[in-house]
Amino acid sequence: MPDGILRSNLELDDAAMRRMGHRVADLVVDHLASLRDEPAQQSLSRHDTESLISGPASEDGCDFDDLMSFLRERVFPYHAREPHPHFMGYIPSSPTFPAVLGDWMAAGYNFFAGVWTVASGPNQIELTVLDWFRAWLGMPQGTSGLLTSGGSTATLTAVVAARHAADASAEKSARLTLYTSEQAHSSVQRAAWIAGIPRGNVRSIATDDRYRMREDALRRAIADDRAAGFTPFLVVASAGTTNTGAVDPLHAIADLCAAEQLWMHVDAAYAGFAALTRQGATALDGLGRADSVTLDPHKWLFVPFECGCLLARDPRTLEEAFSVHPEYLTDVRARDQDVNFADYGEQLTRSSHALKIWLSVQYFGVSEIREAIARGIHRAEYAERLFAANHDFEILSPAQFGVVCFRARPADLDAPALDALNDRINARVNATGRFLISSTKLRGRFSLRLCTHVHRMTDADIDEVYEAIVEALRVEASPPNH
């Protein structure tokens, strides 16, 4: 029989719970304290994990320590360590420890944050956090929304609300058109599909030489669609694209949306939090004019997965699109100023994502978070300087919001050979396990890409990855040894 059983049911005595909790705390703290000594990534094939991990459920239970050993030895080693100082790919998540504990408490109390009366304390924390975000982005009083599982869900929620606000009849909805740039995150396209916008009605607008949506192309696409009998309803601008950190011309798009009476949504999933810094606030000027904004606290606000956010200038638009009142929930209908977050989005049962944000921000203070974001911005600029100074490399997109794109470009290689060379460099650097970097394509060119958001990262880590990439180029560009 498993240890610590109090009665013949699922409840444990408090000594057993404390012991188990301490074991978990020790495990996580050991992991975080030794992150730098661990590889940045480690993976096994499905075949290998199958034999190492799979098996039938235990019929009679197991010893907790044995289970912990199993997880520590067989499961946890095989993952990419997002909070690692050498995790420089994609858009990483490096949570603070208080944020991790916030999630633990949300699970421990198991708050049901879908309706007000069932968790009014935690729900007030969510409203408080949403109001911080509103102020940080310069959105007007009254702006609010909800925390979501991630940025994709936030954008989906916005697209559904915008579609509802367009008040399309079933017949007309086949004519609704949505506009976003060719550099927008794929979640925009998917949100449109899920929301029932015909796939052919998602317009991909061309970008300029800095990967920003071209306002003239947007204007023309809208005019062409109106002339052809379509109903434009939504523009999704990007403020910090995933590829390069580009920010679309927010003021120009806001003016156009106002003139055309279109909903303006801005995907500021990670870069939105850079509004806390002076540099970021300047680059994001105009963001506050959006009708709605996607943010991802699990990216650059240093909280663990999962945590996205949708802010809406008029939260009633969310309620109009999503609220439904079945008779079995009459007892918990929102009254007076109460907010039922279930009325603002797709989820009824939802945990309190707000606690981890609140705990982390209050513990460190906004100035410390601001500094951590600013350091991430500067590290990418430092990486850009290193590669720009090396004649064998070329910057494909300068550092923006902690993202920099570049490629090796030794003389005398044609385009396909350059792509192949950089692909091999990427693979070589990743194969060591010491770093995780990721690639992308910019105007058809294979690009290496660094994202320098992880709060533990220092300039010395940038030096190390620079040396690893230069060494990979040296090996890959040398003629094979026979």
Ligand X SMILES: Cc1ncc(COP(=O)(O)O)c(C=O)c1O
The tokens describing 26, both together, are: 């020790």
91 binds ligand X (CB under 6 A): yes
Query: Binding to ligand X (CB under 6 A): which residues in 272-301?
Result: 296
Min dist CB 429 to ligand X, Å, is 21
Nearer to ligand X, 189 or 277 (CB): 189
Min dist CB 286 to ligand X, Å, is 17
402 binds ligand X (CB under 6 A): no
Q: Contact 293/126 with Cβ under 8 angstroms? A: no
Min dist CB 308 to ligand X, Å, is 5
Among 123, 152, 340, 430, binds ligand X (CB under 6 A): 152
Min dist CB 394 to ligand X, Å, is 24
- The Cα 315–Cα 161 span in angstroms is 10
Among 100, 162, 191, 269, binds ligand X (CB under 6 A): 269
Binding mask of the shown chain, residues 98 to 137, with x at each position contacting ligand X by CB under 6 A: ----------------------------------------
Binding mask of the shown chain, residues 412 to 451, with x at each position contacting ligand X by CB under 6 A: ----------------------------------------
Nearest to 280 by CA among 206, 376, 355, 360: 376
Min dist CB 274 to ligand X, Å, is 12
Min dist CB 397 to ligand X, Å, is 15
Query: Running DSSP on this structure, what letter comes out for residue 481?
Result: P
Give how far Cα 171 sits from Cα of 124, 201, 203, 231, Å.
41, 14, 20, 11
161 binds ligand X (CB under 6 A): no
267 binds ligand X (CB under 6 A): yes
Min dist CB 305 to ligand X, Å, is 8
Among 81, 185, 203, 265, binds ligand X (CB under 6 A): 185
DSSP secondary structure of 456-470: T--HHHHHHHHHHHH
* 3-state class percentages of the chain: helix first, strand second, coil last, to nearest 5: 50, 15, 35
212 binds ligand X (CB under 6 A): no
Query: Binding to ligand X (CB under 6 A): which residues in 39-68?
Result: none
92 binds ligand X (CB under 6 A): no
Strand, helix or coil for residue 156 = helix
Min dist CB 186 to ligand X, Å, is 8
- The Cα 293–Cα 213 span in angstroms is 17
Q: Contact 245/400 with Cβ under 8 angstroms? A: yes
Angle at 324 between CA 323 and CA 328, to 5 degrees: 135
Cis? peptide before 306, omega within 30° of 0: yes
- In a 10 Å sphere around its CB, with 0-12 CB exposed, 13-18 middle and 19+ buried, how is residue 191 labelled? buried
Residues near ligand X (CB under 6 A) are: 91, 150-152, 185, 187, 240, 242, 267, 269-270, 296, 308
